[in-house]
Amino acid sequence: MIGAFRDLGRRGLFMFDPETAHGMSIAALKSGLVPACRTSSDPRLRLTVAGLDFANPLGMAAGYDKNAEVPEALLKLGFGFTEIGTVTPKAQPGNPRPRIFRLIEDEGVINRLGFNNEGHDAALRRLQPIHGNGIIGVNIGANKDSADRIADYVGGIRRFYSVARYFTANISSPNTPGLRDLQARESLSALLAAVLAARNDEAAKAGKKIPVFLKIAPDLTEEGMDDIAAEVLAHALDGLIVSNTTLSRDGLKDQAQAKEAGGLSGKPVFERSTVVLAKMRRRVGAALPIIGVGGVSSAETALEKIRAGADLVQLYSCMVYEGPGLPGRVVAGLSKLLDRERVASIRELRDSKLDYWADRNV
């Protein structure tokens, strides 16, 4: 029955172009039409990461709820946390449409949205009245025409300090020209110094320290990963999110859609993002929190990210194919996998396949 509902919903939404379907799914969540999931309270899935208490390790990745329209509705689907954004200081339209493409055979998505969003003020207005306990992170970025990109990230920290449970500095979107250059060692050092100085200043005023994570690309060389790890540790950043979408087009079946420019996500990015996750875990050591994202489609793939070194996991693209019941199924599935593994906490499985993943090459 649920499967039939899922297929019907998917076939229905697939009649529309992806961006229209996305808008319809946001509207459905706003209206309360999407049934909430009975939230799992399995104590084995609870985790404390970067000082935050998560009911389960699965989060909604950035980019779905760019303007903070439905964070609470997303949490009701079973997610343990959700991330709004990427938000930029000023509203901007992003790239011309069409700019999202489904690769149905591959269960992948290509997007070249280019940080379309309503700007800081609009998202802040929606977040301010929320007083629930749910963990809502704020993903911050820079405007395309910004004269000072670092100032845009600093502005995000200051503006959202009272409402964010964590921040993500997103320097890995492939769709804002030059943005990924912030991953280069010197630029990254300057960015992290400025962002963390702003955070520490706000923390002193507010009397609470909000963690800051850095979201990186899966298209990094070994040297690039060395540099990022060194800077993250040198600046005592709170964690990493690995990874954003890839520019690679390896192994795709849908050759026509594969030609579209933009970042590829969903099942085709699972392998690459998991390898980079494990390689980063090896570099930063056991203590630094890492959120694994890229191609999570099931409890098994979520657990694989944890085995490769992730503390927490996020997903987006596979929900396009699996529907809004996916988070509930992944969380329930994780409990079943823990029965099989006979562990008292999911944390015990972290890094259990670190070498397997870190020794692979992509």
List contacts with ligand FMN (CB under 6 A).
61-63, 66, 85-86, 100, 109, 111, 113, 139, 170, 173, 215, 244-245, 265-266, 269, 293-296, 315-318
Least Cβ distance, residue 286 to ligand FMN (angstroms): 23
**Cβ 185 vs Cβ 257: under 8 Å:** no
3-state secondary structure of 358: helix
What does the alpha-carbon distance between residue 116 and residue 86 come to, in Å, rounded to a whole number?
Answer: 8
To the nearest whole angstrom, how small is the minimum distance from the Cβ of residue 264 to ligand FMN? Answer: 9
Instruction: Evaluate whether 25 touches 13 at the Cβ level (below 8 Å).
Output: yes
- One DSSP character per residue, 63-114 reads TSSTTSSSHHHHHHTT-SEEEEEEE-SS-B--SPSP-EEEETTTTEEEE---
User: Cβ 73 to ligand FMN, closest distance in Å?
Assistant: 18
* 129-147 residues labelled b (16+ CB within 10 A) or e (exposed): eeeeebbbbbbbbbbbebe
* Residues marked as catalytic: 173
CB nearer ligand FMN, residue 106 or residue 231: 106
Distance of closest approach, residue 100 Cβ to ligand FMN, in angstroms: 5
Q: Which is nearer to ligand FMN, 244 or 257 (CB)?
A: 244
H or E element in which residue 283 lies:
helix 270-284
| Minimum gap (Å) between residue 95 Cβ and ligand FMN | 12
Neighbours of 22 (CB within 10 A): 19
Task: Report the distance separating Cα 189 and Cα 227, nearest Å.
Answer: 10
Comparing CB distances to ligand FMN, the nearer of 60 and 358 is 60
At its nearest, how many Å lie between ligand FMN and the CB of residue 336?
Answer: 21
Nearest residue (beta carbon) to ligand FMN:
63
**Beta strand pairing status for 52-54 and 47-49?**
antiparallel
Give SS3 for 44: helix
Q: 193: which 2 tokens?
A: 């110094």
d(CA 54, CA 196): 23
Q: What are phi and psi of 248, to 5 degrees?
A: -70, 150
Closer CB to ligand FMN, 10 or 343, in the complex:
10
- Which residues touch 355 (CB under 8 Å, ≥6 apart)? none
Of the two residues 45 and 269, which places its CB atom closer to ligand FMN in the complex? Answer: 269
Smallest gap from residue 306 Cβ to ligand FMN (A): 15
Q: Nearest Cα to 42, choosing from 293, 299, 298, 292? A: 299
For residue 191, the one-letter residue type is: L
When the beta carbons of 47 and 100 are compared against ligand FMN, the nearer one is 100
